[in-house]
Amino acid sequence: MDSEIPSLVRTVLRALQVRLADRQPRRRPDEPRRILVAPHLRLGDAILVAPLLAKLRGRYPAAEIVLLSTLPMLPLYEARPYGVVAWPYHPRRFETVAAMLRQDGFDLAILPGDNRHAWLAAALRSRWIVAHAGDRPWVKSWPVDELVEYPGVPTATAEIFSALAPGPEPRAFRPGDWPKPACTPFPLPDRPYAVLHVGASTRLKHWPEENWRSLAGWLGTRGIEAVWSGGAGDEALVARIDPEGRHRSHAGKLDLAQLWHLMEGARLFVSPDTGVAHLARLAGVPSVTLFGPGSPLLFGRGGFWRDAPCAEVVVEDMPCRDQDDLFNRRRPWIRRCGRPPRQCRHGARCMTQLGVAAVEAAIESIDARLTGPGWRCSAPGNRFHPGAKEHADAVACPTPDWPGPAR
């Protein structure tokens, strides 16, 4: 379990064996009956393939679509969104690969994100493998049959993934398109509440602790109870934010299905730019996302979630958000920062400069949606900047086609 090398070696050997034994000419199938989708195995990237899944289902309504997933994410696919079947996969456990090999044989394999799964797709006897060009090292892409270039114009990651399949883009996401998973019951607040998710994949995405305290107090003045949320290991962070334990905390206590249900019952969800921010869009909860190192252009709602009730808070012109690559593909329009904490020389200023006032303004912009359905964010989207409370009315637009989160 400490290394994925043994499993990788066995997968590569199997892939080579399959390719050397295959004497048939390789060609893209017109009507694939079995499709494999092998995304990057992080939560956010797995959810960002939703428009790709919707597109594939619309184009190939009778096809079996299989999606690779980590074990913790499997409950999200329990209700088979877009008719997808999820297969568990762990890079360090060859038994998960062996289970897939017993059901191999795909007409089409699509690799959103990293091309490392090309070898797995080849081992699973995929007749045609599609991925994005430009991944490094080149050996990851050796089994790929069709390489698609990244767009030359600014594009959201979800739409970049979706472009791997031919045809028009799917319609905008609506609540219910991705059915909510069942979950183990747990106690929910009995009065209106907002979920404040304080954890993130890196501490460079942590919002200052005093800001979370201030936001929780501000929500309290509006009659909304603050509920802390976080992943495993975030319990200490919540304890520092709320040392007196004034607010209920679910940090480290919920699986993803339970977190979905917690979100769905909330009036509001606030979090850094992390995987659960994308989960909030599936759950249909009004949400505010705090962007620091990441880019709202790349990781915001994009076109697919354009009607989602959400707002983004960001310091737009952050000089150190200057890396121009995504999954090793470089484009001049990409602006993000993926540096580890030890390489940050500015004390995570991209997050510390996000003031509480800007977040409150973002919340006020969707406040009408907090008391009833029938609202959506205006196109092309709302961004809030520190000190820019005058932008608070930028998205209040009633519309009949967003039914709002279930209550």
Fold equal for 5-20+30-162 and 193-398: yes
What is the per-residue pLDDT for 284? 94
What is the arithmetic mean of pLDDT over 21-39?
Answer: 94
Which amino acid appears at position 305 of this protein?
Answer: W
| pLDDT at residue 377 is higher than 70 | no
Residue-wise pLDDT for 315-363, tens only, equals 999 999 999 999 999 999 999 999 999 999 999 999 999 999 999 999 9
Contact of 49 with 161, CB cutoff 8 Å: yes
Q: Is the pLDDT of residue 376 over 50?
A: no
| Residue 7 pLDDT grade (very low, low, confident, very high; cuts 50, 70, 90) | confident
The structure tokens listed for 350 are 């991209």
Number of other CB atoms surrounding residue 211 within 10 Å: 18
pLDDT at 5 over 70: yes
Picking from 368, 377, 365, 395, the residue whose alpha carbon sits closest to that of residue 308 is 377
pLDDT confidence band for 82 (50 / 70 / 90): very high
The per-residue DSSP string of 310-356 comes to: EEEEE-S--TT--B-EETTEE-TT--B----GGG-SSSSHHHHTS-H
Q: Which of 53-67, 183-197, 349-363, 369-383 has the lowest mean pLDDT?
A: 369-383
Structure token digits, residue 91 = 């890079």
Task: Tell me the average pLDDT across 273-282.
Answer: 96
Judge whether residue 31 has pLDDT over 70. yes
d(CA 200, CA 251): 12
Averaged pLDDT, 24-35: 94
DSSP letters, 222-259, are TT-EEEEE--TT-HHHHHHHSTT--S-B-TTT--HHHH
pLDDT band at 404 (very low <50, low <70, confident <90, very high): very low
Q: Tell whether the model's pLDDT for residue 183 goes beyond 50.
A: yes
Residues composing the chain: 407
| 400 has pLDDT over 80 | no
Average per-residue pLDDT for the chain: 90
Which residues, at least 6 apart from 283, have a Cβ–Cβ distance to it below 8 Å? 180, 260, 263, 264, 269, 405
- Say whether pLDDT at 402 is over 90: no
List CB contacts of 146: < 8 A, sequence separation 6 or more: 28, 128, 129, 130, 131
Where is 290: in which H helix or E strand?
Answer: strand 287-291
Of 174-183, 246-255, 363-372, the range with the lowest mean pLDDT is 363-372
Q: How confident is the model at residue 379 (pLDDT cuts 50, 70, 90)?
A: very low
- Looking at CATH, the fold of the domain delimited by 5-20+30-162 is given as Rossmann fold (3.40.50)
Note the pLDDT of residue 92.
Answer: 86
pLDDT at 181: 96
pLDDT surpassing 70 at residue 403: no
Domain boundaries, the chain: 5-20+30-162, 193-398
Torsion of Cα atoms, 270 then 271 then 274 then 280, to 10°: -20
At the topology level, CATH places domain 193-398 in Rossmann fold (3.40.50)
User: CB-based contacts of 30: which residues, under 8 Å, 6+ apart?
Assistant: none
Contact 306, 381 (CB under 8 A): yes
Q: What is the pLDDT of residues 117-168, one digit of tens each?
A: 999 999 999 999 999 999 999 999 999 999 999 999 999 999 999 999 999 9
Distance CA 379, CA 81 (A): 26
Which comes out higher in pLDDT, residue 92 or 330?
A: 330
Whether the per-residue pLDDT at 407 is higher than 70: the answer is no
Burial of 313-350, coded b for 16+ CB within 10 Å and e otherwise, reads: bbbeebeebeeeebbebebeebbbbeeeeeebeeebbb
Task: Give the pLDDT score at 367.
Answer: 66
